[in-house]
Amino acid sequence: MKHQEPYIVQYVGFQTGLDEDTFLQSWKPFATSFKSAGIRQIDIYTVENKDILTYIARNVWPTEAYLKNFPSGVPGAARTQDVNVLQFGGYELRQEETEKPEHMTLIFQREEKPLKEKGVITRLRITEKVPFKQILVLRNASTDEPSTNEQLVFSCSHLKSL
């Protein structure tokens, strides 16, 4: 493990037919347990194209707390009766990037690809167990790039902080 940043951002996807209020109410007990485990912030986003995901959580953890709770870098699989959960795992997060964006496009990539475009934040996975090696974050922007076997693309808008 080569992680050196003070924080880790964890992304968790949710596929569900529940309306926003019902989904948020169903997720509150999980948020409470994460808060007692040391999480710093939980932000829920709605996903524009709901083919793969309906919502995505952007969870910010102090590095030590995250790795204590999820030493492999990825939490175990989860599912409730009405919600299918997709664990993307943890990625490096610099101190100055902890604030939530109102809108963002996330591009999860299976392979690392150097990118020098302005306005794109590149984050690397924290352990070998995290399935996507790199994530690109475009703030206040969206992309026309489609999801493929090599990458997943999600344009998101902030819904609620828990």
For the stretch 12-64, pLDDT in tens is 999 999 999 999 998 888 889 999 999 999 999 999 988 899 999 999 999 99
Number of helices and strands (H, E) in the chain? 2, 8
For the chain, first and last CA: distance in Å? Answer: 30
Band the pLDDT of 99: cuts 50, 70, 90.
very high
Report d(CA 157, CA 77) in Å as an integer.
25
H or E segment and range at residue 64: helix 63-69
Band the pLDDT of 145: cuts 50, 70, 90.
confident
> 6 versus 117: which is more confidently predicted?
6
Query: Considering the chain, what is the average pLDDT of its residues?
Result: 88
Edge-first strand order for the sheet with 55-62 is 83-93, 7-16, 55-62, 41-47, 151-161, 103-109, 134-139, 120-124
3-class SS of residue 91: strand
Band the pLDDT of 143: cuts 50, 70, 90.
low
Residue-level pLDDT at 30: 85
H or E segment and range at residue 31: helix 20-36
- The pTM for the full model equals 0.90
Residue-level pLDDT at 79: 67
* Residue 74 clears pLDDT 70, i.e. is over it: yes
Which residues 6+ apart lie within 8 Å of 160 measured at CB? 24, 43, 44
